[in-house]
Structure 1
Amino acid sequence: MHRPRPQPATTARYVWAYDFVFDACANGQQLKCLTVIDEYTRECLAIDVAGSIRSWRVIEVLSRLVSLHGAPRYLRSDNGPEFVSRAILKWAARHGMDMALSDPGKPWQNGADESFNGKLRDECLSLEWFRTRTEAKVVIEQWRRHYNAIRPHSSLAYLTPNEFKPRYCSTEATEAVLQD
């Protein structure tokens, strides 16, 4: 498979990176969190929390994000089966997005999302003992909003993603077109 290597993002919606983070609740329920970030703005676009996430659910989350924000040029991920399924590759191609898959065993090639996932673990998952998956969804969404609106980022000159985006990104409204 051809593995395009996009240059570092110089605008919003150029590269969205996504991956999984795993955890468990006090009641034994497994947590699988799909994280999606914009590499340029560092905005966390979504954290989908479930017990299991298959490729069809990844497509649902990405479709919702494309409807809200417009489509990125590239989707960057590792080679997990949910990310390289025939369904997701066809979906991305149909919407004009190229896949930027990291080489096997090289997580640093998806460094922006790996870094984000480390922050999610250190600042949220490791500090909480979720009783249920429902509680985890609520707390993780609160943390995501805090991450975007309150928490400054050194890579953004100590602005939050919500402060950075309107200052340094095009203000043109983007029309998202999903064709099924």
Structure 2
Amino acid sequence: MDQPRSSQRYQSETPDDEPALLKQILELVRRYPHFGYRRIGRMIQAAGWKVNLKRIYRLWRREGLKVPPETEEKACIGYKRECLPSPSTGKEKPCVVLGFYF
């Protein structure tokens, strides 16, 4: 054989159903942005697709999808929400604050 070894490498072929599967993944991600690839994969499998989670994860990474981080509420420093005056009555609610000194 007079062919170089570099020309004899394996060439992967994309499956015929991959564009439709990717379209389904992106549609579910737009509808449920806080779901990860595992949950999206289970939803796709429940919809009738015969697909492995490893394939879902590969497509997930290739498209650069990420789950947005959860936002935390900023705490009011020095106040408890229960102690603040209510907008309807303007009166403060009774509030018991226990302090521990060590």
What is the TM-score when the length of structure 2 is the normalising length? 0.31
Structure holding more strand per residue? 1
Relative contact order (C-alpha < 8 Å, sep 6+): which is higher?
1
What TM-score, normalized to structure 1? 0.20
